[in-house]
């Protein structure tokens, strides 16, 4: 470690403070201790427009039970771009016009925000901060530094994955980055990057110049999964418009148009799309067909037992797809899954293996519910499937009262031989609307302390003029007792957070 860092790396110093650091070592057989004073500068986060409620995100610690005091949580959030920003970082045209390469419209439009990435402890103190100018050029026109900074997962080596617009890579907490451009022909990587056991990475991207069945040359939206090497070479690709049905619209008509992922429109809260919108001009719009946001893949997981990928498609459900590009199972309501896909839909069962009656829209009898507009459907260390069930469009409808919506963490056990699925754990439904997170967010089972970790990144998003709450929770798996609850508040009204990551000690060593 000393030779790697030309000294001892120090993590977690308090900002704007004269910190005391003690170093203990053995020299010539004798133990020695030195104390050093290290003064750190204050955090830098100047307001970039006139919409700020605060400079930094306020942190409120609500619950930390004994045994969890050492936890560190990374917040993956963002701030608005300056008003009048003039860069569309994927293509120069919108609304069905031809771009310079002859393709209609564009991929992910202005899906670009200034990153706010930091780590807090269980006292609510900032212990690490990423200087946003180092990774994002919101003042200039460097396309390599535009786009959402997201897709953060910790690797087995203690590094962190990330995607940002036209590049993907790794970073460590000492501030070093390694990045690669997307393979040629692909663009607009957001949301998800997953480290595989073979050393490669799974990255969610879009395809440039894709010829869809209508004969149009389009830039697709969030519907290609790339396996890439650490050097950025393309190893394999899952072309979802050809593997799944890009014309399935069962959930699309039920989406709340106030927020489709991080695209927030406060004027359309509670509205649903009409038939025209599902067949709207190509671009980053919820709709059907390659060239529109029909899939919206927001997470990737890998099952090494059969070398398959597990995907969360916000607008379709959850699917498992093999290396042969064949669908293994679908975890979603049956409505709209026709033809060869009908037999791939899992049948809900109870603890005794008895089938549970469900409507085609997913309303079930007994202790079972599907996920709706979910995030982070991952294979857990127990071999189960966990997911953050956001709950928008539940049962393919919008409730009469918006406050009837709820979000939950859910765990399923899939039997691939019988093509059945059992719900074995859930939390959040009982907390109702105050725990509702319409978009973003994540969850993960943590075996080290037998908890279900979650981050609800968009609580209070639809409260006009109020900051959005990102809520960290660790829930005891056996008792469902809240072991940790920490809220972070956005610095602007109605500005969503993306995800939260639990940081482990190995992350401190870096490259």
Once rounded to an integer, what is the mean pLDDT over residues 94-104? 45
Q: For residues 463-474, give the mean pLDDT.
A: 97
DSSP E strand boundaries for 230-292 = 234-239, 259-260, 263-264
Rounded mean pLDDT, 181-199: 96
Q: For residue 116, what are the CA distances in angstroms to 45, 72, 234, 375?
A: 9, 16, 30, 20
Residues 7 and 130 placed together within one structural domain of the fold: no
What Cα–Cα distance (Å) separates residue 472 from each residue in 36, 124, 205, 356, 491? 34, 12, 28, 33, 17
∠ CA 447-387-203, rounded to 5°: 95
Tokens 């009409």 map to which residue?
Answer: 274
What's the total number of domains in the chain?
Answer: 2
- Residues contacting 509, CB < 8 A, separation 6+: 1, 9, 158, 172
Percent helix / strand / coil, the chain, rounded to 5: 10, 40, 50
Same domain, 220 and 89: yes
Give the model confidence (pLDDT) of 369-405 as tens digits.
Answer: 999 999 999 999 999 999 999 999 999 999 999 999 9
Sequence-distant (≥ 6) Cβ neighbours of residue 27 within 8 angstroms? none
Token pair for residue 189?
């990587």
CB 226 within 8 A of CB 205: yes
Q: Are 218 and 175 in contact (CB under 8 A)?
A: no
Query: Given 11, 27, 42, which residue is the final one in a domain?
Result: 42
Domain of 35, in residue numbers = 1-42
For 386-454, the DSSP string reads EEEE--TTGGGS--SSGGG---EEEEEEEETTTTEEEEEEEESGGGGGGG---S--EEEEETTTTEEEE
The pLDDT of residue 310:
98
359 — pLDDT class (breaks 50, 70, 90): very high
The pLDDT of residue 507 is 62
pLDDT of residue 108: 55
Do both 283 and 346 map to the same domain? yes
Do the beta carbons of residue 382 and residue 374 sit within 8 Å? no
Are residues 325 and 258 part of one domain? yes
Shared-domain flag, residues 21 and 68: no
Bridging pattern class, strands 347-349 and 420-427: parallel
**By C-alpha distance, which of 85, 189, 80 is closest to 140?**
85
| Predicted confidence (pLDDT) per residue in 10-54, tens digit | 889 999 999 999 999 999 999 999 999 999 999 988 777 788 999
Considering the domain architecture, whether residues 30 and 50 belong to the same structural domain is answered as: no
Averaged pLDDT for residues 226-243:
97
- Give the Cα separation of 428 and 207 in Å (integer): 37
3-state secondary structure 145-200: HCCCCECCCECCCCCEEEEEECEEEEECCCCCEEEEECCCCEECECCCEEECCCCC
**Within this chain, do residues 129 and 196 fall inside the same structural domain, yes or no?**
yes
391, 433 in Cβ contact below 8 A? no
Domain CATH for 431: 2.120.10.30
Question: Is this prediction's pTM over 0.85?
Answer: yes
One domain, residues 256 and 346: yes
DSSP type of residue 358: B
DSSP for 101-148 reads TS-BS-SSTT---EEEEEEEETTS-EEEE--GGGT--SSS--GGG-S-
Task: Say what the pLDDT of residue 324 is.
Answer: 98
Specify the higher pLDDT residue, 378 or 82.
378
| Number of other CB atoms surrounding residue 241 within 10 Å | 21
Residues 146 and 222 grouped into a single domain: yes
Distance CA 169, CA 144 (A): 12
Say if residue 35 is in the same domain as residue 175: no
Q: Do 110 and 12 sit in the same domain of this protein?
A: no
**Residue 36 CB-density burial (10 A; 0-12 exposed, 13-18 middle, 19+ buried):** exposed
- Residue of 172, 173, 121, 116 whose CA lies nearest to 14: 121
Band of pLDDT at residue 84, cut at 50, 70 and 90: very low
Average pLDDT, the chain: 91
Does the pLDDT at position 96 exceed 50? no
> Which residues lie below 8 Å from residue 130, measured CB to CB, with a gap of 6+?
115, 117, 118, 175
pLDDT value of position 469: 98
> Would residue 375 show up in a list of annotated catalytic residues for this protein?
yes
Cα–Cα distance list, 270 to 255, 311, 401 (Å):
9, 27, 9
Report the candidate in 467, 493, 472, 438 with the shortest Cα–Cα distance to residue 58.
467
Residue of 57, 136, 191, 375 marked catalytic:
375
Res. 505: pLDDT tops 60: yes
Q: Residue for token digits 């797809």?
A: 321
| Residues 477 and 494 grouped into a single domain | yes
């Amino acid at each position: 470690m000393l030779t790697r860092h030309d000294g001892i790396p120090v993590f977690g110093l308090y900002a704007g403070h004269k910190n005391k650091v003690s170093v203990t070592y053995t020299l010539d057989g004798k133990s020695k201790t030195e104390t050093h004073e290290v003064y750190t500068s204050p955090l830098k986060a100047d307001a970039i427009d006139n919409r700020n409620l605060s400079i930094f995100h306020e942190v409120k610690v609500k619950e930390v039970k004994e045994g969890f005091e050492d936890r560190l949580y990374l917040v993956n959030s963002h701030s608005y771009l300056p008003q009048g920003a003039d860069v569309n970082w994927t293509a120069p045209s919108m609304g069905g016009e031809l771009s310079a390469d002859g393709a209609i419209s564009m991929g992910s439009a202005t899906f670009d925000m200034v990153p706010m990435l930091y780590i807090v402890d269980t006292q609510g103190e900032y212990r690490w901060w990423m200087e946003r100018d180092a990774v994002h050029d919101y003042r200039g026109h460097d396309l390599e530094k535009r786009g959402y900074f997201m897709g953060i997962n910790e690797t087995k080596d203690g590094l962190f994955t990330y995607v940002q617009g036209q590049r993907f890579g790794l970073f460590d907490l000492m501030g070093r980055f390694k990045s690669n451009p997307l393979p040629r022909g692909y663009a607009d990587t957001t949301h998800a990057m997953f480290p595989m056991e073979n050393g490669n990475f799974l990255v969610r991207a879009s395809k440039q110049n894709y010829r869809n069945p209508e004969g149009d040359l389009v830039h697709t939206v969030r519907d290609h999964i790339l396996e890439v090497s650490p050097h950025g070479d393309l190893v394999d690709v899952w072309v979802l418009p050809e593997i799944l049905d890009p014309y399935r619209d069962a959930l699309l008509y039920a989406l709340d148009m106030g927020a489709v992922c991080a695209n927030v429109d406060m004027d359309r809260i509670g509205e649903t799309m009409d038939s025209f919108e599902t067949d709207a001009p190509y671009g980053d719009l919820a709709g059907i067909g390659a060239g529109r946001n029909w899939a919206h893949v927001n997470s990737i997981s890998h099952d090494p037992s059969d070398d398959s990928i597990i995907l969360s498609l916000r607008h379709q459900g959850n699917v498992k797809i093999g290396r042969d590009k064949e669908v293994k199972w679908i975890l979603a309501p049956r409505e709209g899954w026709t033809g060869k896909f009908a037999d791939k839909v899992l049948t809900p069962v109870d603890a005794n293996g008895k089938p549970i009656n469900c409507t085609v829209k997913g309303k079930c009898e007994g202790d079972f519910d599907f996920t709706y507009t979910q995030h982070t459907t991952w294979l857990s260390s127990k071999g189960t499937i966990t997911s953050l069930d956001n709950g928008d469009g539940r049962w393919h409808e919008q409730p009469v009262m918006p406050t009837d919506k709820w979000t939950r963490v859910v765990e399923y056990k899939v039997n691939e031989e019988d093509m059945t699925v059992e719900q074995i754990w859930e939390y959040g439904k009982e907390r109702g609307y105050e725990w509702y997170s319409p978009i973003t967010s994540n969850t993960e089972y943590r075996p080290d302390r037998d908890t279900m970790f979650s981050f609800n990144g968009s609580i209070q998003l639809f409260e006009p003029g109020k900051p959005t709450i990102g809520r960290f929770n660790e829930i005891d798996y056996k008792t469902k007792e809240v072991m940790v609850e920490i809220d972070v508040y956005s610095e602007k009204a109605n500005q969503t957070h993306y995800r939260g990551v639990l940081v482990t000690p190995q992350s401190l060593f870096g490259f």
